[in-house]
Amino acid sequence: MPTILDGKKVASDIKNEISARVEERKSKGFRAPNLAIIIVGDDGASHTYVNGKIAACKSVGFDFTLMHFASTISEEKLLKHVENLNSDEDIDGFIVQLPLPEHISVEKITESIKPEKDVDGFTNQNFGSIVSKNQLILPATPFGVMELLRRYDVETEGKHCVIVGASRLVGAPLGMMMTESAHATVTLCHKYTNDLASHTKSADILVVAVGKPGLISEDMVKEGAVIVDVGTTRVEDKTKKSGFRLSGDVDYDTVAPKTSFITPVPGGVGPMTIASLLLNTLKAYEDQNPEG
């Protein structure tokens, strides 16, 4: 039977560590870290994610500032609010929850955030630092994956890591992190990749971040592989009170018996993303408020 990469447990451990660090800093006369969250519009999933981040802030003793704007807000006005947060010394880090309305440029908003306050790790400066000796704030989900593997002592050096999904949010930065920090040999697959199974079957470590439930079947995975399933999709399920269940990109029931380590969905990478956001906020706070 495989070892379950329990992101929920590891995230809980990280939160306890952060909480202890916050209490230590407060005992020395420092204020608590303050995370600001901008959300635009009334997308239900976005509000669910934001509520989860607020609950996480409360659990570790962070202060938080929630800014909710109508979907009709102009790009110019939103940029002004970002600039205000950039200059606010009481705000250590902030995020702009995605997606944004079509009339607002995600790239323009992201690049207007001061890198030292960009706790999502999306700005070009933070993104580019992945391949430097001075890594800054790392993208939260890939950072969470790396931390999960590290805390379970999953061997990565010299291993073949295949990543399915090349997005800027997960696949692309994770590929660089696995190369630079974990010393793995990386193959990055995407929608233009021919014969996907020929790549996935060669993986010692297989990371899937596409958002297609059940994309990876048992015959696409080699014996003893490490599987990290980043995909989380709502699938209709009339047996559930909610009417749906969360499904990953990996057919867990058939794939799990072949693996050495595997993440569940839910309870794997999801909790680690929020834990990483908290770690990034703590780093931003401590960097901007040194003990001297």
> Which tokens in the block code for residue 250?
């990996």
- For residues 31 and 291, the answer to whether their CB atoms sit within 8 Å is no
- For residues 279 and 21, the answer to whether their CB atoms sit within 8 Å is no
Helix/strand/coil for 264: coil
The total number of residues written for the chain in this structure:
292
Helix/strand/coil for 64: strand
> Which tokens in the block code for residue 171?
């696949």
- DSSP β-bridge partners for residue 133: none
What is the DSSP secondary structure assignment for residue 75, as one 8-state letter? Answer: H
Catalytic machinery residues: 53, 97, 120
Classify burial at 70, counting beta carbons within 10 Å of its beta carbon; exposed 0-12, middle 13-18, buried 19 or more: exposed
Q: From CA 214, how far away is CA 6, in angstroms rounded?
A: 20
Angle (nearest 5°) at CA 25 between 23 and 30:
115
